[in-house]
Structure 1
Amino acid sequence: MFIRNESFYSFRRSYPIVTILVAIHLILFVWMNFLPGGRWILTMGIGNNLAVAYGEYWRIITPIFMHIGAMHMLFNSFSLVIFGPALEKMLGKSKFLLIYLLTGTIANIATFFLGNPYMQHLGASGAIYGLLGLYVYLVINRKDLIDSANSQLVMTILIIGLVMTFVNPNINVLAHLFGLIAGAALGPLILIGVKRPYYANRVVFDDGEPTFDPNRWQKKRRLNKNIKKLIWVFFAVLVIAGLVSRFF
């Protein structure tokens, strides 16, 4: 569910919304840091509680797509590539984009009402945690949509992420927490009519064509090894991100 083995072309074709969101992250990062007009985009788009109070309401949405630090941008994009595809396939493009934008917006609204009036913020973390919140709802209430191995992986990564949220002083804690809560709270509505995705019993090869795999459950040991590797890789990225963000 979370282990990607598609080619870039296959990934782009199968998960267009995730691909577009990651592309926006990259384009805005490059523009804000290296191209003419980048400083203006940053100034006009960054989340700014005082500016929102004076009526600049677009700042509740625009920070979802903006990152000024390379590690911040790469980490959030990596997280989206890991957690986004299964939900995009499960929900469909429209619902996936809706839950992503709603949870990110709710996270920024919470930051506005509960954060420091002079606080400035940016990043897709609130929306990423919104996706995690939806996964938590799946783990607790929709076990028909997620297997036990992936449930364990989600909860492990969530715990690590929450620990890092409170350890790192540069994290927008409100955005993480309220993004998570929003994703879980919207779960019952966003999952109406959603059934177990077709690929749950299929193996996807590099050409993107699905084929039935009758021995899927006999490969549990191999899958568990891959999941353990993924957990350690993700943990390493979290630690590096936490350390680097202290210096930039």
Structure 2
Amino acid sequence: MTERSGQANDATGGPVPTTPVCYRHPDRETYIRCTRCDRPICPQCMREASVGHQCPECVNEGRRSVRPARTAFGGGVAGREGYVTKTLIALNVLVMLLSLASAPNAGAVLFKGSTPLTDWGSVIGLARFADGTIGGVADGQWYRLVTAMFLHYGVVHLLLNMWGLWVLGRALEAVLGPLRFLALYLIAGLGGNVAVYLFSAPNQPSAGASTAIFGLFAAIFVIMRRLGRDTSAIVPILVINLIFTFTVPNISVAGHLGGLVTGALIALVLAYAPRLRRNLFQAAGGAILLVALLGLVLVRTAMLTG
């Protein structure tokens, strides 16, 4: 630390007062001192503080000692901006455009029907395609369990799911944080697609974000109960969606229920993990659930190929 304060002796031996200089710039005189460490600081080194000014070192030390803000479940407060929700919606819309572009006649499948892209990425257990080839999850095309949650059969199908994602996603992302919300969405969607693989006909294709959306329905119920908030408005909406699931043709019952159950399970892990080792328990719970889903896929594959 460089500081020329105090007194010096002149030629006659008498005291001569000197002016303090900035501890970082010895050529600059200053009478301002850091309110935290009392070092002299020049205007260039001043940092605004709640009271007075601080030097750069004290400001940096203060930042390191302040813990970043977290949600009630350990997530980052950046989730309040809904960036993950918006990105997922944009990704689904982009895939829809690519799907329409892949169709020879986009107008014919704009509101309903499959495209070459949905044929490639939908959940199919094991089937013979029009060109005579055999494919499906059981044939090693495991990517279908993930890609199917981003594909839709027409614009109406897409809009319904994106509306649900917009309403539920922003609320859950704000309370869970971006990373935990993304894990919830992907694991719930995967769980729904695994249920399709397990319980649907092997040659019956299925696609859509509704597996993940139903997981969000279950998760918001669990989260709100954990926070002690009223869930009376959620139950009727969930019941209505379940009624549609069982009554409207061409809806994957297995996918919706699988996403619902998986979403509830991962939400329980996120909501009730003990505070002291919350990150560890949440990560371990998610990993265990993924391993269980993997085991179910292996069992179903053995049944179809054995």
TM-score using structure 1 length: 0.67
- State the alpha-carbon separation in 2 of the partners of residues 47 and 185 from structure 1: 22
Query: Residue 108 of structure 1 aligns with which residue?
Result: 193
Match of 1:182 in 2: 262
Match of 2:82 among 4, 15, 35: 15
Structure 1's consecutive aligned runs of 4 or more residues displaced over 6 angstroms after TM superposition are none
Greater Rg over alpha carbons, structure: 2
Partner of 1:70: 155
Following superposition, the deviation at residue 136 of structure 1 comes to: 2.5
- Which of 202, 206, 225 aligns to 1:121? It is 206
Decide whether the 8 Å contact of 1:45 with 1:59 is kept in 2: yes
2:94 maps to 27
Structure holding more helix per residue: 1
Equivalent residue number for residue 298 of structure 2:
none
Quote the residue 1:169 is aligned against. Answer: 249
Conservation of the 8 A alpha-carbon contact between 1:33 and 1:68: no
Distance 1:183 1:13 in 2: 21
Q: How far apart are residue 178 of structure 1 and its match?
A: 1.3
The aligned residue for residue 91 of structure 1 is: 176
Give the deviation of 1:138 after TM superposition: 2.9
Q: Deviations over 1:90-123 (max 9, x none)?
A: 1111110101000110111111011111110110
Partners of 2:184 and 2:261 lie apart in 1 by 12
Distance 1:93 1:193, change over 3 A: farther
- Greater Cα offset, 72-81 or 39-48: 39-48
- From 102, 112, 122, the equivalent of 1:46 is 122
Over the residues paired in the alignment, what is the CA RMSD in angstroms? 2.3
Q: Which has the higher contact order (CA 8 A, sep 6+)?
A: 1
Q: Structure 1, unaligned stretches of length 5 or more?
A: 1-11, 195-248
The CA distance in 2 between the partners of 1:68 and 1:54, in whole Å, is 23
Distance, in Å, in 2 between the alignment partners of 1:180 and 1:14 is 25
Q: After superposition, give the CA deviation of every residue in 1:44-69 in whole Å (9 maximum; x if it has no partner).
A: 21221111011100000101011131
Q: Which amino acid aligns with 2:86?
A: T
* Contact 1:32 1:68 survives alignment (8 Å): no
> Residue 92 of structure 2 aligns to which amino acid in structure 1?
H
1:82 is matched with which residue? 167
- Show CA shifts across 1:140-175 (max 9, x none): 5x143xx32xx1111110011001111101110011
* C-alpha deviation, 1:193, in angstroms: 6.3
2: CA distance, partners of 1:65 / 1:24: 8
Percent of pairs with identical residues: 31
Task: State the distance in 1 between where 2:87 and 2:224 align.
Answer: 27
- SS of the residue corresponding to residue 56 of structure 1 reads coil
Determine if contact 2:186/2:212 at 8 Å carries over to the other structure.
yes
How far is the alpha carbon of 1:43 from its aligned partner? 2.8
- Unaligned 5+ segments in structure 2 are 1-78, 107-114, 127-135, 276-306
Q: Take 2:176 and 2:100, find their aligned partners in 1: how far apart are those partners?
A: 34
Q: Which amino acid aligns with 1:156?
A: P
